[in-house]
Amino acid sequence: MNSSQITTTQRIKAIVGGSIGNLVEWYDWYAYAAFAIYFSNSFFPDSDLTAQLLNTAGIFAVGFLMRPVGGWLFGSIADRVGRKKAMTLSVLLMSFGSLLIALTPTYKTIGVLAPLLLLIARLLQGLSVGGEYGVSATYLSEMATNDRRGFYSSFQYVTLIGGQLIALGIQLILQKLLLTEAQLEDWGWRIPFVIGALLSVIALYLRSNLHETEAFENKKDVGEKKKGTIKELLKHPKALLTVVGLTLGGTLAFYTYTTYMQKFLVNTVHLTKEESTLISFISLFIFACLQPVFGALSDKIGRRPLLLSFGILGTVFTYPLLNALSHTTSMWGAFFLIMSALIIVSGYTSINAVVKAELFPSEVRALGVGLPYALTVAIFGGTAEYIALWFKQANVEHYFYWYITICIFFSFVVYARMKDTKETSTLDKD
């Protein structure tokens, strides 16, 4: 179908279907971390809680390591056989992983098979979430009209953050309203994973009714040897290195102010768990609402001004913001500081997907967006919490603030040297 023939309703359907997988997959990803304290003793032999949590965290980390493999596998599938098929397969895999966690018997029932099945489920989820980003970023960018690409692709982070919010919301409802702590540890922890599997089925239905993109259809005649291969991808070294440099500071800042921030507020700021959860929920909600605003702004003024703003403000204000946050005693003072940081980070999060998609030709676009991004996130985003806690334990927590600052500055150098992809977009050549 020619892009000019696609109606507004069909484009809205494309936004929903293209980004819904992010919501589901980030919900599942975050639900594992959020509910680990309740299910760790179900999968590992009776020992101290720290050992159980370390085992659970180890499986979480292995899931992270699978993300680059997912970026390669699903990127190749998307470039070879279509974006729609790759997105459908990705969400199906996530559904199966969630269901496996929900239904796996405890260690007391089946012994060593329990942690083994948990590991398999997490490997499947890691593959799925690793593949989801590149494929959905490519799909949303290709389905958009050239004057709305920033707006369309920004919904990837709306749903990514939305997944975390839903997981957080379900945890609050189960904790405060429906179940006791004993019930949560006994069987209640399975509920979020059943919900995750059901959400995946809804996403699967929505995706099965999507149109394939015109950009992919136009390249159907390109030789199979050129589509979705590492060999072909390596012919674009500058674009590959740009994705790594572009992602480095942004992903570290994103993980610091979203997934790590709850622990930071309790561990360093000394707020209560309830206060830190409330701050995280409200700030993440506003952060999600900001993404389309910044995305639409990039359609007006270009991508580069937003990236440069993030690079400059992130380099200048990361240390002062985190240092002030570590000394604040007010709940709303902490909220204001985190919100300020998230507004700065929005210059990256809202448009990073479309910028990457605009760097690569159609035949290796999903692979080019997904693989270097997944590698960078696994190395820098995935280790953010561990490095932060390591510095904290060594009583030099401020070193972590400098670490983020240096990484953002490195990304700023990349932004300063790159052309505005809105003006040089490979999507215009499709």
User: Which value, in Å, is the radius of gyration of the alpha carbons in the chain?
Assistant: 21
Please tell me the distance from the alpha carbon of residue 97 to that of residue 381, in angstroms, as a whole number: 22
Amino acid 13: pLDDT:
80
Contacts of 126 (CB under 8 A, 6+ apart): 62, 63, 64, 65, 66, 67, 69, 70
Residue with tokens 């589901």: 24
Query: Which of 357, 310, 342, 315 lies closest to 141 in space, CA to CA?
Result: 357
* Measured torsion, CA atoms of residues 371, 160, 218, 1, in degrees rounded to the nearest 10: 170
Query: What is the share, in percent, of the chain residues with pLDDT greater than 90?
Result: 43
The domains of the chain are located at 9-210+231-417
Note whether 141 and 12 are within 8 A (CB). no
Q: Each residue of 146-164: pLDDT tens digit?
A: 888 999 889 989 988 999 8
Check residue 228 and give left, alpha or beta (phi > 0: left; psi -120 to 50: alpha). left
Three-class DSSP labels, 144-178 = CCCCCHHHHHHHHHHHHHHHHHHHHHHHHHHHHHH
**Angle between helical axes of 191-208 and 149-173 (0-180°, round to 10):** 150
Residue 209 has pLDDT above 90, yes or no: no
Amino acid 274: pLDDT:
80
**Angle between helical axes of 398-417 and 237-257 (0-180°, round to 10):** 150
Q: Tell me the two tokens of residue 315.
A: 């380099």
Q: Where do the H-state alpha helices sit in 268-418?
A: 273-301, 304-327, 331-349, 352-357, 365-376, 384-393, 398-417
Q: Tell me the two tokens of residue 215.
A: 């950009």
Q: Each residue of 393-423: pLDDT tens digit?
A: 889 999 999 999 999 999 999 999 999 999 9
Q: In CATH, which superfamily holds the domain spanning 9-210+231-417?
A: MFS general substrate transporter like domains (1.20.1250.20)
Check residue 328 and give left, alpha or beta (phi > 0: left; psi -120 to 50: alpha). beta
Supply the DSSP symbol for 278: H
Amino acid 213: pLDDT:
81
Question: What is the mean predicted confidence (pLDDT) over 359-380?
Answer: 92
Contacts for 225-232: CB closer than 8 Å, 24+ residues apart = 226/363, 226/364, 227/79, 227/80, 227/363, 227/364, 228/75, 228/76, 228/77, 228/78, 228/79, 228/80, 228/363, 228/364, 228/366, 228/367, 229/76, 229/364, 229/367, 230/72, 230/367, 232/363, 232/364
The better pLDDT of the pair 79, 32 is held by: 79
* Measured torsion, CA atoms of residues 68, 73, 76, 81, in degrees rounded to the nearest 10: -150
Q: What is the pTM of this model?
A: 0.86
* Banded pLDDT at 3 (limits 50, 70, 90): very low
Note whether 274 and 315 are within 8 A (CB). no
Note whether 259 and 30 are within 8 A (CB). yes
Q: Each residue of 327-356: pLDDT tens digit?
A: 998 999 999 999 999 999 999 999 999 999
Please tell me the distance from the alpha carbon of residue 204 to that of residue 223, in angstroms, as a whole number: 30
Query: Which of 255, 124, 106 lies closest to 187 in space, CA to CA?
Result: 106
Please tell me the distance from the alpha carbon of residue 187 to that of residue 167, in angstroms, as a whole number: 17
